[in-house]
Structure 1
């Protein structure tokens, strides 16, 4: 028990250091899963809450850079021995390249598609793999995928997370590769980004001309966003709209609602466009850390 307590204290220290660098964090259990149980575990399915209820226990959606909030999360999870870093969130819009294969595979892919593999933060995993940290551009949502880029290469994007360096799991510890701790996450090469982002969704015809109650509910969901959740709420609502076939009809209303909550028109339009790309048919992987 004492060993677990020391590991929790160490994990909190590492997590606070990451939060100072602008990386949203939350506690992980030794199994690499979110340490806090869902507050909705006894609710009837389906549960679509992503933290809007205000209670902790929503996994990656709990991630924060606020030191007081980080401490509060770890205080609720004294069994945590690691921390997760949420990908796709500002300011870094982190993209995690999870290599379970020889790094030469990624370099060969770079030669084929015309992008270099930049020097960047690299985390060595207990399984012998590595995580490369890349910074994505604002307004572009990179989805999670498993093996879509190449066998043995998984991508952690928006809604996914990486186990942070210093985390201890049942299989061992995550540690920074020599020579990389001082590096910032390198910008994702544009040619690689094009491989990671799904192609634009073909324009969908609006059904009827008015979005109806479903669309009005999504607009209201965006209008209720608190500071720090505005972009995430807009993206979620736009995804649901495009999945329902009313995305194009509702895009302007969602954008206007987001602007009323404090986003700029440019940010709002970019997020809605990203949702359209994100919901296009693709092979997506689970957002679990590895």
Structure 2
């Protein structure tokens, strides 16, 4: 490994340990911004549904490896000496972090994502409070917000507006101090002393999927509405909708009963059984249940 890589790894570990001290669960990242450790199940047969989220005890489960324990963080980086950055897991206690990722430009609408966020704020009557802001090598910004523990905010890309991506449960943010192929992530001046601010309620409502309702207008309590919610997913929404529906099912105590119907619905939308099982297992883990 080159000297510059060793220095980058040492600095990334130092920043990761500092984040862990503040209650932010971290994992090592490669220069590609992807988790540095490959899945230990990568050679499993494609026909075998693998829903392991770290229960096997080995490293390589992405965000499910994330930890605030300094010994575990050091062990993760020792297993990935090529890491030059770190990721911060979103949606986990105590902060329940939500990341608002503002790209520099939206190719779809040719509009600045910061402008799009301001327009959303004006339309829905909220303001972004002073909070941690991380500057990306491309000129974008990551806004750090916190969510309530009883809400699961899903990941999304461009759903709020073109150029605005959301990092929620099961996602991660590249931590400040990380170095990637395109450059370094840094804390924006004047925000390093801040704590992640609570997400404004009006913005939180936009981030959560709409309530599932029966056709007669009554809330769906028996799970049929959750299955229909998954079936209505378009490409790009399939994992997000399945994850949200599975979370609601486990929270309502019908996760086991809805496992097969949700799997069938997910396969109907185009997900493979392996993908669907992994997503449902992630929802079970996030809600403290077992699939």
Alignment of 1:94-133 (within 5 A): 94-101=97-104, 102=112, 103-133=114-144
Aligned to 1:41: 42
Equivalent residues of 2:223, 2:258 under 8 A apart: no
Aligned CA distance change for structure 1 residues 148 and 44 (closer, same or farther; 3 Å):
same
SS of 1:61's equivalent? helix
Tell me, which stretches of 5 or more residues in structure 1 are unaligned?
A: 208-230, 247-267, 273-290
Aligned to 2:234: none
Cα deviation per residue 1:69-112 (whole Å; 9 max; x = unaligned)? 00000000000000000000000000000001432221121010
**Quick one: distance in 2 between partners of 1:13 and 1:128?**
24
1:15 aligns with 2:16: yes
Cα deviation per residue 1:233-267 (whole Å; 9 max; x = unaligned)? x67x9767646448xxxxxxxxxxxxxxxxxxxxx
**Quick one: distance in 1 between partners of 2:162 and 2:255?**
28
Shift in Å, 1:43: 0.9
Residues matched between the structures, number: 226
Aligned to 1:179: 190
Aligned to 2:69: 66
Aligned CA distance change for structure 1 residues 11 and 238 (closer, same or farther; 3 Å):
farther
**Quick one: distance in 1 between partners of 2:257 and 2:182?**
41
TM-score w.r.t. length of structure 2: 0.72
**Quick one: distance in 1 between partners of 2:203 and 2:36?**
33
Equivalent residues of 1:18, 1:25 under 8 A apart: yes
Tell me, which stretches of 5 or more residues in structure 2 are unaligned?
A: 105-111, 214-219, 225-246, 263-283
Cα deviation per residue 1:179-214 (whole Å; 9 max; x = unaligned)? 00000000000000000001223326479xxxxxxx
Aligned CA distance change for structure 1 residues 115 and 30 (closer, same or farther; 3 Å):
same
Aligned to 2:216: none
Aligned to 1:85: 88
